[in-house]
Structure 1
Amino acid sequence: MKKLFLLLSLATLAMPASPQALTKEERERGMSELHATRKLFLDSVAGLSEAQWNFKPAPEVWSVAECAEHIALSEDRLYELVTQKLMKAPAEPEKKAEVKGKDELILEKTTDRSQKFQAPEMLRPTHQWPSKDDLIAHFKESRDRTIAYVESTQDDLREHFAPHPAFKLLDGYQWVLLISAHSHRHTLQIEEVKANPNFPK
């Protein structure tokens, strides 16, 4: 009997560790951020006229419509990065130490509008949605999909990684936080456009 117990114990130790799903706190934090920034964006574009939607403060400055399109494009691309690329790559738990402490950094630094960046070509607005309502409907659908994923996923997001141009290595959960923080950043940009003295009344 003792020998059987010893063999079972050794077999258990030899088994690979099972994937670690998000903690309750991580899941709630992710969903809270996604819900909050969803509302901020939708409130910022609610009730705008066509003139307000398309107003450009300067030729090189994005309109509300262009900011909104960038948000929608990025939502889709980042969701795909997390669910299709990161989670299909091998887990790398040995990299956890490299990303420790970056959760708060992402939420703080991404919304710092004093730092300017050039959007990659694939995320630049090209007016691909025929109307404001179509774009907003697409954003709602995409964001709700992201929220549903965070609410239910059992993926080990903390053990899959990809590099970011500014933050360097991030884990899957941090990329989810970035989805939220990125839309917040460009919602602030929308508010800057609306605060322009020439913004249509």
Structure 2
Amino acid sequence: MNKEVLSEFIKVNADFNNTLNMFEEEQLFMSPQPGSWSAAEVAEHVVLSDQGMYRFITGNSVPTKRKPDAHVNEIREMFLDFSFKMNSPEFIIPKGIFTSKKEIDGNLGEIVAMLTKQIGSIDLTQTCLDIDIPEFKESTRLEIVHFLIVHTQRHHHQLQKIEAIIKAMVKH
């Protein structure tokens, strides 16, 4: 089980990073339209979210008394429906902390490496106990990893849209 989900996690993050690297340094910090996040802010949001989820999957856990993937399909359906906008919890709304492409790459690379190591080595069937987000109470590590995957996919889609808009703006 770990091998397949780990492979998907690695691919999704590589895709996200490849798209992020298509931006020139100054383009990373350009907002595609008023009130929208820049590519740097999208990356910051993903880093903040991943850091929180890392804390959950490495925290206290117990054996699960249900199918460990019971909520995976609903998580996937919700986050991969690009037709509606989701609102982020306050604690993972970007604050503009990144000031360079190097800083973004370093922070993103560090959390992805930490998660990759854990996903490949821990028992993903366990239920996480240290979750303080009501929507994720009683989630298994496997469900959280699937959240990480689809959350990154959702923001990869967002990055692709930002990149197209920014490239069009720069051409004019």
The TM-score with structure 1 as length reference comes to 0.73
1:56-135 residue pairs with structure 2 within 5 A?
56-84=31-59, 88-89=60-61, 91=62, 93-94=64-65, 96=66, 101-135=70-104
Q: Deviations over 1:139-178 (max 9, x none)?
A: 111111111111122x3x323145663x775311110111
Instruction: Provide the rounded CA distance (Å) in 2 between the counterparts of 1:43 and 1:191.
Output: 10
Task: Give the partner amino acid of 1:142.
Answer: I
Aligned equivalent of 1:160, options 127, 135, 141: 127
Gaps of 5+ in 1: 1-25
Task: Give the partner amino acid of 2:92.
Answer: L
Instruction: Provide the rounded CA distance (Å) in 2 between the counterparts of 1:107 and 1:199.
Output: 33
Instruction: Provide the rounded CA distance (Å) in 2 between the counterparts of 1:130 and 1:52.
Output: 12
Task: Give the partner amino acid of 1:159.
Answer: Q
Specify whether residues 131 and 152 from structure 1 end up closer, same or farther in structure 2 by C-alpha distance, changes over 3 A only. Answer: same
1:183-194 residue pairs with structure 2 within 5 A?
183-194=152-163
Aligned length: 167
Task: Give the partner amino acid of 1:140.
Answer: G
* Larger gyration radius, structure 1 or structure 2: 1
1:37-48 residue pairs with structure 2 within 5 A?
37-48=12-23
Give RMSD over aligned pairs. 2.3
What's the secondary structure of 1:53's corresponding residue?
helix
What's the secondary structure of 2:125's corresponding residue?
helix
Instruction: Provide the rounded CA distance (Å) in 1 between the counterparts of 2:77 and 2:7.
Output: 16
Deviation at 1:39, TM superposition (A): 1.0
Q: Does the alignment pair 1:144 with 2:119?
A: no
What's the secondary structure of 2:106's corresponding residue?
helix
The TM-score with structure 2 as length reference comes to 0.84
Instruction: Provide the rounded CA distance (Å) in 2 between the counterparts of 1:64 and 1:100.
Output: 31
Q: Is the 8 A contact 1:193 1:199 kept in 2?
A: no
